[in-house]
Amino acid sequence: MKLTFWEAAEAVKAENDWKQWADFELTGLEFDSRLITAGNLFVPLKGANDGHSFISSAIEKGAGAAFWSRVDDVPVELPFLKVSDTLKAMQDLAVYYLKKMTPTVIAVTGSNGKTTTKDMTEAVLSQQFKTYKTQGNYNNDIGLPYTILHMPDETEKLILEMGMDHAHEIDFLSTLAQPEVAAITMIGEAHIENLGSRAGIAQAKMEITAGLDKSGLLLIPAEEPLLLPLINGLPQTIKTFGWHDADCQAEIVTEQKEQSTFKIKGSDTLFTIPVPGKYNIGNALIAISIGQWFGLAEEKIQAGLANFKLTKNRTEWLKNQRSVEILSDVYNANPTAMNLVLDSFSQMATSGKRVAVLGDMLELGPDSAAMHASVSEHLNPKEIAEVLLYGTEMKALYNTLKKNYPENKVHYFTKEEKDSLIDTLQSILKAEDMVVLKGSNGMGLNEVVEQLMKS
């Protein structure tokens, strides 16, 4: 991090006499005292635990300075910057650092596919530029400024994932980051409990334009009518991606378990991505469009997509010692995303049987039961032989599905019965079978995946 102590003090308008300490280079920034290394700026955040309580640990780890908002217990062992709100100070410092380092910012949001799109875009742009992206899911008002303040000095393109579960959150993130390019992957039902409807979700996602450069680029899915009335009057260049009447339009060539190949309208180039599913091709179209915006040759875009690395638990193929193929997609879920995964999984070639393990989709509000039940339209016993449902909300799907499936081929487990779910699944799966696991992160299906890999 190319910042000095005095520079940080001026950026956040520190309230104390910080010039009593000689200026020095800060080596980085951390809000977790356990991650502090020599010369770091410690940011004690107030959450379930008050970070100020860990100042001794930060000092022991070698912190060079700290933000401080308490009126008491002022650290005397190291330089500190008095601020009224340590989180706001970190955010203000991130704004300053963006202006100082001047990377081009690309912002990505959407109900599903944000992380995969971010990963693909980073792989494409890194073919020509020094590129940095949000690590893991650091996509909120803490994670986004943290990402900015951790980008390498030489970063030319900065890809920021923007998440939300309430209105006005992306507005804040976009205004902070001031992107040149913004992309909305899709409008699903995630957080519909807080936003009221898919239309409300669409409006919340469109907040990504709050800080978008007026001469910049906005990418939206062509097949999403809820977004069309929201783009009227926007000054930015607006391009669509998708399967019909889109500016970046895909034609699938082949779909396999571990890769997909497609072309785009107006080009004979074959693009291959090392993940399955039509929905992932849609994510790749965003990365292609962003690569084109920044002038990358088609060959570089092609090479980037062919070799991109997917963040863990996003459409991840695994194989255990019993030769069971496992499609793990357990980080998040909403009906639209779950249906897309099931449609793709249903067509994947296998010499064994297909099995689905589905966990609750959370934060769907009063229509949750109906939304869970509607997934039955994407489950056919001729394609997916056996289904295991897990969680309170999945009871609605169980009651619907057992009418269409043979007896004893649909299983239901409460959230307290995870061990029984694992035992039943282990007894069902045989060599060469294929299983997909999909559910909200809060359901902990990653633990089921871990047990399958130990078998």
Give binding residues for ATP as ranges: 110-116
- CA–CA distance, 291 with 312 (Å, rounded to integer): 24
Q: What is the pLDDT of residue 71?
A: 87
Confidence at residue 277, expressed as pLDDT on a 0 to 100 scale:
87
Q: What percent of the chain has pLDDT over 70?
A: 100
Give me the chain's average pLDDT, please. Answer: 95
- The whole-angstrom separation of Cα 50 and Cα 125 is 39
**What is the pLDDT at residue 87?**
98
CA 155 to chain centre: 21
H or E stretch covering 263: strand 260-264
pLDDT of residue 147: 98
Question: Taking the mean position of all CA atoms in its chain, how far away is CA 137?
Answer: 5
Greater confidence (294 vs 337) lies with 294
- Residue ranges and CATH numbers for the domains of the chain are 3-84 (3.40.1390.10), 103-306 (3.40.1190.10), 316-454 (3.90.190.20)
As a whole number of angstroms, the distance between CA 77 and CA 92 comes to 25
Residues 258-273, mean pLDDT to the nearest whole number: 95
Q: What is the mean pLDDT of residues 86-96?
A: 98
Q: How far is Cα 372 from Cα 394, in angstroms, rounded to an integer?
A: 6
**For residue range 405-415, what is the model confidence (pLDDT) as tens digits?**
999 999 999 99
In the block, residue with structure tokens 């995964």 = 341
Which element (helix H / strand E) includes 93? helix 86-101
Contacts of 235 (CB under 8 A, 6+ apart): 214, 215
Compute CA distances 361 → 301, 332, 334, 368, 392, whole Å: 34, 8, 6, 8, 10
pLDDT digits (tens, 9 = 90+) for 222-254: 999 999 999 999 999 999 999 999 999 999 999
Residue 314 has pLDDT above 80, yes or no: no
The token pair that represents 440 in the structure block:
């909200």
Q: What is the mean pLDDT of residues 309-335?
A: 87
Query: Residue 455: which pLDDT band, with cuts at 50, 70 and 90?
Result: confident
For the cut 90, the answer to whether the pLDDT of residue 1 exceeds it is no
What is the pLDDT at residue 257?
A: 84
**Tokens for 90?**
């970190």
Q: Is 196 exposed, middle or buried (0-12, 13-18, 19+ CB in 10 A)?
A: middle
Binding positions are 110-116
* Structure-token match 């949001």, residue found: 109
Q: How many CB atoms lie within 10 A of CB 429?
A: 23
Strands 3-4 and 104-109 turn out to be unpaired
Contact between 389 and 397 (Cβ < 8 Å): yes
Please state, for a pLDDT cut of 90, what percent of the chain lies above it: 88
Count the alpha carbons within 13 Å of 150 in the hemisphere toward its beta carbon.
Answer: 17
Give the pLDDT band of residue 316 (cuts 50, 70, 90).
Answer: confident
Query: What's residue 313's pLDDT?
Result: 61
- Provide the pLDDT confidence category of residue 186 given band limits of 50, 70 and 90: very high
pLDDT of residue 240: 98
The residue type at 227: L
3-state helix, strand, coil in the chain (%, to 5): 40, 20, 40
Closest residue by Cα to residue 363 from 194, 113, 188, 187:
194
| C-alpha–C-alpha distance, residues 203 and 195, integer Å | 9
pLDDT at residue 384 above 90?
yes
Within 10 angstroms of residue 1's Cβ, the number of other Cβ atoms is 20
Quick one: pLDDT band at residue 310, thresholds 50, 70, 90? confident
State the first-to-last Cα distance of the chain, in angstroms, to the nearest integer: 44
Report pLDDT digits (tens) over 423-448: 999 999 999 999 999 999 999 999 99
248-255 vs 260-264, strand pairing mode? antiparallel
Q: Which is more confident, 209 or 317?
A: 209
